[in-house]
Amino acid sequence: MSIASEPRISLLGSTALLFEAPGELDLAPQQRIWNLALQAGEWAEIHEAVPGMNNLMLTFIKPPRDLNRLCERLLQSWENCPPLPLEGRIVELPVVYGGEFGPHMQDVVAHTGLDIETIANLHCEPLYPVYALGSHPGYCYLGGMDARLATPRRQVPVISIAAGSVSIGGVQTGVSASAGPSGWNTIGRTEMSFFDPTQNPPAMLRPGDMLRLRIERIIR
């Protein structure tokens, strides 16, 4: 799909709207999204400002009658919104790649034309910034995956993948915090507790934190 050159706003029913930043998926626009989320989260009609991958969902307390005014305010705020470089903690995660822990590794091999070892090495190379949380409690969307690893989401979502699954969906990668359905390609597994509802905040990681993945083992 072509890369949009202008920001785009669309509706999610009468519950929320979605703002999508223009350009390639990158950290600088994500830092602007974080800034925009902080601002919009304070607006009277907005319940929650939820960053995604270079996009922002705003849920309404009550659907505003004058949607145009809200959209204009949002676009104006975006134009005047500098990147907000959040500097979080660095967390290291050992990952076992392939075998029973990476049930879709062969699909990534087939799509990318790379061997398992190269995939594991490329996947562990970057220091991944947490762009956003979503999907399920404690789950982190990571930015900065090597574009050579990009693999489309699965034709049919998998009914359940294990907690700690390390997976690839399009140009994105992430680590699941609990077992559940997923449309992504699972290539490995790690062990870490990402969420505790009795803590404040309940999620262990937040946007701006960094993940360092380390190869613990590769099963060929």
Q: Out of 1, 6, 79, 100, which residue is the one contacting another protein (CB under 8 A)? A: 1
Does the footprint of another protein cover residue 47 (CB under 8 A)? yes
**Torsion-angle region of 144 (φ positive above 0: left; ψ -120 to 50: alpha; else: beta):** left
Are 69 and 151 in contact by the 8 Å Cβ rule? The answer is: no
CB of 6 vs another protein, minimal distance in Å: 14
Q: Which helix (H) or strand (E) holds 157?
A: none
Nearer to another protein by Cβ, of 48 and 115: the residue is: 48
Half-sphere exposure of 167 toward its Cβ, with a 13 Å CA cutoff?
Answer: 31
Where in 186-215 is the site for another protein (CB under 8 A)? 195, 197, 201-203
Of the residues 27, 45, 59, 126, which one makes contact with another protein according to CB under 8 A: 59
Instruction: Please select the residue that binds another protein; options are 177, 211, 213, 218, rule is CB under 8 A.
Output: 177
The answer to the question of residue 68 lying near another protein (CB under 8 A) is no
Phi-psi region of 138 (alpha: psi -120 to 50; beta: other; left: phi over 0): left
- For CA atoms 88, 92, 97, 101, the dihedral sign is negative
Smallest gap from residue 3 Cβ to another protein (A): 11
One of 132, 149, 166, 175 touching another protein (CB under 8 A): 132
CA distances from 183 to 34, 133, 159 (A): 26, 17, 9
Taking the complex as a whole, the smallest distance from the CB of residue 217 to another protein amounts, in Å, to: 28
33 with 21: CB under 8 angstroms? yes
What is the nearest approach in angstroms of another protein to the Cβ of residue 141? 6
> Nearer to another protein by C-beta: 16 or 215?
16
Q: With contacts defined by CB under 8 A, name the span among 70-78, 98-106, 127-135, 208-216 that binds another protein.
A: 127-135
DSSP per residue, 44-82 = TTEEEEEE-SSEEEEEESS--S-HHHHHHHHHHHHHT--
Of 52-60, 81-89, 91-99, 118-126, the window that binds another protein (rule: CB under 8 A) is: 52-60
Maximum Cα–Cα distance for the chain, whole Å?
A: 57
Could you list the residues that contact another protein (CB under 8 A)?
Answer: 1, 8, 10-16, 18, 20, 25, 47-57, 59, 63, 65, 67, 132-139, 141, 152-153, 155-157, 169-172, 177-178, 180-181, 183, 195, 197, 201-203
